[in-house]
Chain A
């Protein structure tokens, strides 16, 4: 047993921890948790905790499968919202392994790890920085009722005594207590909408942090008697919740996206990487935007893209190359604007990295930059510029994904299968729903 494991066991003693939650993530990005008592933890470190691995397959599970959750001691944290008084609860993320000790190809965290290590073989490390949007509602959701947003303020409005800023203060305190640095926060465009940015980190840490973040935000909201949601598009009339992510590759200490003197200081590697993401944009869409609801965020313009293109400071582009501050070569990065807050961050970052790496490996040519607001162009103009649309709904996305070798290779055959099985089921169920829209429009006239 290593030093870290010892550290964890000691912390359990000193902090009087009664339960340790072992966290892992299913293919859809839902956090799963197995609680163990500290006494069981020593065994869990060496042998793992057995569980029915089909839990990882999302809603559409079929077969039971014995798997083991192996806690990663470097992710140990006391959960601050359960430690105000009395005994504390702690959590660790787990890797999922097969009973023979080999890593499970079905584990999303392992999908990201595998993809990162493939990039590392080529000398790259992958850094990400997400800006996470979400909504706060006055109360728990009720079936069939439209939720009431917490406030009515808009983008960058400063409201004295706004409940939202209290909420953010509390959430930030708690996140920092869990070792998650928060970079900047402001109020987003819709009523009750919030944004909190996580600091730059390697993609695995970021993905772990996003999973923690979502939990913390929900817990804080509950404690304050309100409801937080990461649903991509809760209102027809207000903007959706995206998770714009800035990404960059490092080669050793050097930012591989930066080249002094090049156009927008974009290195060849960066251009190939963007080309890779654009080339495979349709295929990975089902992962970066995985819900029926996700596609409703992407059809209204504004902050969410619906066309495959890139631009410099062009907010309608799928990939945006931001302006750098001078002499900040290390902060060179690109911003991906498709991803939404309800994705599985492990899978989403894995497929983005894989698409980008493909661009580098196969030396893709970067198409010309989109300079105009692509929303304002006509269909013909877009076609003449070679700007393709992203999938318009989940069904289209599934269809493209089904024949994607990149996606199968990156996710591994098992996750690829589980994931698409879930998505097909979701689409089939949705297809049969009679919606309020139909009733409102038709009952009166037909």
Chain B
């Protein structure tokens, strides 16, 4: 029946190049238009039609041109009259795969393969595939050790052609008969198995009669081993042999080349043996005993994970089976190995980290929400639970997922949703690869390809957009489910509510908690139970929130501590309307909270003192400026009726700012110098506000109209040097200057009372952390007066000053109180600390003598000098004394040295040639490292310490806060020791010589 199809009809059928389609249809002759409806169901009607024309031309031997095409189409259409299946199979292949079209054009006789009606119903058995592939290379499939008899070059070509013949059949089944993606993958794996056997037969012929000196077994790994191969991917194998190693290696390497070499008929795929023991460095094949030796002694956790998929596939199957039987018990006991938790964590990290940034957003396999996410999660669950439950020891991802779901290791809804998502991603991956038979996991970005892929998956309208939308949805779904997969069944396990689905047993729940890094799974499950008990809205939100929280805790140094802290904070805040809502709706707050709770006791304490601090975590964690804080403290302080209340208000602001700085530090957002600076400024503000409040309240108590004297506070020691840590005392000196006309007695009595009031109110116990104000560095120490007038300081220093006092003044900074007084104080001490003619030999000797004594006496008994952060070898004191010596010697001539800060002085010393730049760098690095460790230690344990940590939990927490992987605590210590050893060498030269 001849008719002329309208343009609209063609457009509806999905053609894009209408003129071309019309002319091609014209060439097909009168029956052509009958094919339009079939073409309209293919992935790419234009390509299918063009392919058909090419095929027709090629399949007619005598002819070129239109006559031949017509005859061929006549044949197709005749066939179609009886069997529309043939037309669909042929046209779908032509429409979906450029590479298979080329193959059919090169081997035109093969299109008739697709007329086979059994393709729609029957899967080719593995043995039939093997027989066919062996036969084309002239090997007898019935032989135990088949050897190819066809000449080598021909055999390789014939193998390729035969491989593609079967591949075409599988593709036709897949594209036009709705083959399940797992079935297609399994058939591809069978085809690979037969191909490897045939390639081995050719390899035997290449090696010659000596091939009999070795039995070679081929064990498939990865996707092929899992019976879930892609259209094009590397086939991962491990070789095992018995007999001559040399022959085995020759056979194996020939086998690899036969499959991967490019001949006139192209290539098949790469055979990759890199998963073998010792990877690429190891011998290509090993005996069973050698494999065993390796796996028992050397293998790493991930290698056992890989063995999960091992399956004998070609060559000597008995040997392969022995290999699998030997390795399986090791696979299923790997979860008990030391370091499994760390290894699993590292593997998970690696999955996330190894995405090449360039293609990340088009990756089907790697990347967030990709295939690898699902595969990894399923394997991890299998390793954890497969030891006691052999029902879940499936090799294929989808079968394993189904088993995990059926037996309650994964929630039913999660399992089903994940199943669907994985199947979609694999199907998409298959279709991407099928187009050009290329090994790729990238979804193309161009409209035409997306349209073709979309249509092949059944999106016939706005195909590209629909596909893109569906894919993004699946990605989000996978990453959402991935996180919950591990944790949700735990919640079901502890829930009292019956859901009707299989539940994790308490033992399995504990095993999982342990595998995720919880040291005390039993208590952890108790916390979960308490947090999620009941049917209240709170419990519901907790159930939604906890899977993610549990994961973040597990990434921290102390998952158990994190969960327990979360429980206490949740109990304290349970009813606050904003609390759970904030956690649920602001992902960052929840994540930050989880990290802090699992790594920092200091932050946990602050949060427990005032749980409302959780709110702060959503904002900017950089330290505020001192003006901002002072303003707020003074305002809130002066609003209060009496002094004690005022100080409490000031301390509350301080606590909040401490949390801000500590959180920023523990989360790695704030640099160590900024932490010291921020804490110093916070201390300034606290003292300033408290001083004002105290002066007012003392004046009121003494019935004075106004203070009789001006007061200032001078920061000393580490406080003066902008180097305070959490919980350090504030070293200070109090100075005052009676106002003109004031009675000296009254003024000094007043000043003393104010100083005492400041110290008392700030160190009193209360809900907020105390600030101990230490005035021991004042003249005459504890014997001296707490407060002196400026004149008294001047008199003292002019009369008594020792070199060590000048040294202490290097870090004096008059920062708090009356500005004029502060200026005069600074002017008074500058000539003392920066002596115009430097230091005398006697002074230098004296400083060295004191340092030697300090080194010897101040170190606590039993402390390891190498690991003491403050007084140890190359520690803070070593570096600071070195810098201070330079300051005393040269401060008068080099303005940059006139600073209280160690790093600034060090930079100035290097800049003016007083110390080699490399030496300055070494000292700076050690100073920063020691300061960071010291801060991290307070953050981790909640209270200050000067010794590098020994307790396991603290070591892990410090590693975590310093940004090391938490299982590398030895490395942190080694790095610390190295850096300080270098610093000590510099100190030896610069300070002591």
Contact = CB atoms under 8 A, between A and B. Distances in A.
Contacts of A414: 973-974, 977
A104 interface: yes
Interface in B466-489: none
Interface string A389-408: 00000000000000100001
Interface in A1-60: 1-4, 46
A299 interface: no
A384 interface: no
Q: A2, A62, A74, A251: which has the most chain B beta carbons within 10 Å? A: A2
A120 to B, nearest CB: 7
B416 to A, nearest CB: 36
Interface in A75-129: 98-105, 120, 123, 125
B974 A413 contact: yes
A85 B329 CA distance: 36
A140 interface: no
Interface in A368-423: 403, 408-409, 412-414, 417
Interface string B635-649: 000000000000000
B973 A1 contact: no
Contacts, number: 77
Given A2-B330, A3-B329, A62 B864 contact: yes
Interface residues of A, number: 32
Contacts of A123: 280-281
Contact of A98 (B282, B330, B955): B955
Given A98-B969, A101-B339, A120-B281, A74 B296 contact: yes
Contact of A65 (B278, B342, B950): B950
Nearest to B975: A413
A2 B337 contact: yes
B441 to A, nearest CB: 27
B375 interface: no
B336 A1 contact: yes
Nearest to B967: A102
Contact of B333 (A1, A101, A408): A1
B296 A2 contact: yes
Interface in B953-993: 953, 955-956, 967-970, 973-974, 976-978, 981, 985
B445 interface: no
A63 B981 contact: no
A100 B969 contact: yes
Interface string A344-388: 000000000000000000000000000000000000000000000
A102 B960 CA distance: 14
B864 to A, nearest CB: 5
B383 to A, nearest CB: 14
Nearest to B973: A105
Contacts of B950: 65-66
A429 interface: no
Interface residues of B, number: 35
Interface in B255-296: 278, 280-283, 296
Contacts of B956: 100
A408 B955 contact: no
Given A3-B296, A252-B280, A100 B333 contact: no
Contacts of B423: none
B297 interface: yes
Contact of B970 (A65, A98, A120, A417): A98
A431 B133 CA distance: 82
A2 B333 contact: yes
Contacts of B955: 98, 100, 102
A125 B280 CA distance: 13
B862 to A, nearest CB: 7
Interface string A252-266: 110000000000000
Nearest to A254: B281
Contacts of A413: 866, 973-974, 976-978, 981
B918 interface: no
Contact of B330 (A3, A46, A103, A403): A3
Given A1-B336, A2-B333, A3-B329, A102 B970 contact: yes
Q: A70, A403, A412: which has the most chain B beta carbons within 10 Å? A: A412
A98 to B, nearest CB: 7
A63 B863 CA distance: 8
A66 B951 CA distance: 9
A101 B974 contact: no
A62 B338 CA distance: 30
A321 to B, nearest CB: 25
Contacts of B741: none
A417 B977 contact: yes
B100 to A, nearest CB: 39
A409 B971 CA distance: 12
A2 B329 CA distance: 8
A62 B868 CA distance: 14
A393 B973 CA distance: 32
B952 interface: yes
A63 B280 contact: no
Nearest to A105: B970
Nearest to A123: B281
A63 B866 CA distance: 11
Contacts of A2: 296, 330, 333, 336-337
Interface in B325-356: 329-330, 333, 336-339, 342
A408 B967 CA distance: 22
Nearest to A2: B333
A409 B281 CA distance: 26
Contacts of B278: 252
A125 B281 contact: yes
Contacts of A125: 281
A120 B277 CA distance: 13
A360 to B, nearest CB: 15
Contacts of A62: 864
A413 B980 CA distance: 10
A101 B970 CA distance: 10
Interface string B109-131: 00000000000000000000000
A101 B338 contact: yes
A74 B978 contact: no
B333 A103 contact: no
A292 to B, nearest CB: 25
B808 to A, nearest CB: 32
Q: Which 9 A-B pairs have the closest CB atoms?
A: A100-B952, A413-B977, A74-B297, A99-B952, A102-B970, A252-B281, A102-B969, A105-B970, A4-B296
Given A2-B336, A99-B952, A125-B281, 12 more contacts: A2-B330, A4-B296, A63-B864, A74-B296, A98-B970, A102-B955, A102-B967, A123-B280, A252-B280, A252-B283, A413-B866, A417-B866
Interface of A: 1-4, 46, 62-63, 65-66, 70, 74, 98-105, 120, 123, 125, 251-253, 403, 408-409, 412-414, 417
29 contacts: A2-B296, A3-B330, A62-B864, A63-B862, A70-B338, A98-B952, A98-B969, A99-B951, A100-B953, A100-B956, A101-B338, A101-B967, A102-B968, A102-B969, A103-B970, A104-B970, A105-B970, A105-B974, A123-B280, A123-B281, A252-B278, A253-B283, A408-B978, A409-B978, A413-B973, A413-B974, A413-B981, A414-B973, A414-B974
